[in-house]
Structure 1
Amino acid sequence: MLATAATSPVPLPAPPLATLRVDVEGLRDRKGHLLFCLTRQTKDFLSCDKDPTAIHGSVAADTAAINFENMAPGEWALLMIHDSNGNGKLDTRFGIPREGFGFSGNPVIRFGPPSAGAVRFVLPSGTSEQRLKMRYIL
């Protein structure tokens, strides 16, 4: 007769999480809010607001740094808008942003938005820091 030992399932350890600190630089003024959206759907980063798993929100524009905790390590993209008039959106004139904006990786902005590869970054477990420079065109 074959005897088997009763085993109870051993819980797997939780995957290590990440903390991201984003230092915001180059604000024109401290009026309004900073709207942010962090997405793991980096190919569609410009549609971050349509990603149900994205981390989005706003903070007062006088905030120098934003901390994101308990994030999953992996590829991410960050978009930020300086909503200086507080209307909850990026104001444009003839398609040109009238308010400040920024992306992770601080890509060079020429004509149109940056590529997904230019804003994608890898977030390791533990604590990381990004510097995001706000840009103003008008």
Structure 2
Amino acid sequence: MRAALLALAGLAAAFGAAPALAGEVVITVTDLRSSKGVVRACMTTREDVFPKCAKDPNSHRTVVPAGPKVVIRFTGVKPGNYAVALLHDENDNGKADRAMGMMPKEGYGFSRDAPVNMAPPKFKDAVFPSADGNGRLTIKMRYFL
């Protein structure tokens, strides 16, 4: 009996000494106007590249099918201050289509429902803290046209 208790104590100590794992940010996307195409998502800690994450090698990026229910999961998220940008790429051509060269024809969304005023929002308006790398967000897809 004593040996079993010592073995359990040893296991508990081993698990307690394990390094902390990176977290997961789960994003629920609402109000897509169709199930066509895909939703492109990026999450970055860098103000200088937001809302485009391509220049941030540490950003989290993914593409998921559009549908009536869209949930995006970013795993391996380290603690930090993040901002999320979404694009409902309805024709799946890999870019944000525009009308008259300016107005978005496809849906978009940002963390904290950051406002769009003739330009993408500022990082400071979309940023959310994640002290442990975990988070749950709901982002409403918006359409200009």
TM-score band, normalised by the shorter chain?
A: 0.7 to 0.9
For 1:73 and 1:102, locate their aligned partners in 2 and report how far apart those are by CA, in whole Å.
22
Query: 1:130 pairs with 134, 137, 141, which one?
Result: 137
In structure 2, relative to structure 1, the CA distance for the partners of 1:126 and 1:74 (3 Å cut) is: closer
Within 5 Å, give how 1:50-129 maps onto structure 2.
Answer: 50-62=55-67, 63-93=69-99, 94-125=101-132, 127-129=134-136
- Post-superposition Cα deviations, 1:86-105, rounded to whole Å, max 9, x if no partner, equal 11111012211100011111
Q: TM-score, normalised by structure 2?
A: 0.79
Q: Larger helix proportion, structure 1 or 2?
A: 2
Instruction: Indicate whether 1:42 and 2:47 are aligned.
Output: yes
- Partner of 1:8 in structure 2? none
Where structure 1 has 5 or more consecutive residues not aligned to the other structure, the ranges are 1-11
Q: What is the aligned residue count?
A: 127
Normalising by structure 1, we get a TM-score of 0.83
Q: In 1, are the aligned partners of 2:78 and 2:133 still within 8 Å (CA)?
A: no
CA displacement at 1:119 relative to structure 2: 0.7
Q: Give the share of equivalent positions with the same residue, in percent.
A: 32
Deviation (angstroms), 1:126: 6.1
Aligned partner of residue 105 in structure 1, secondary structure: helix
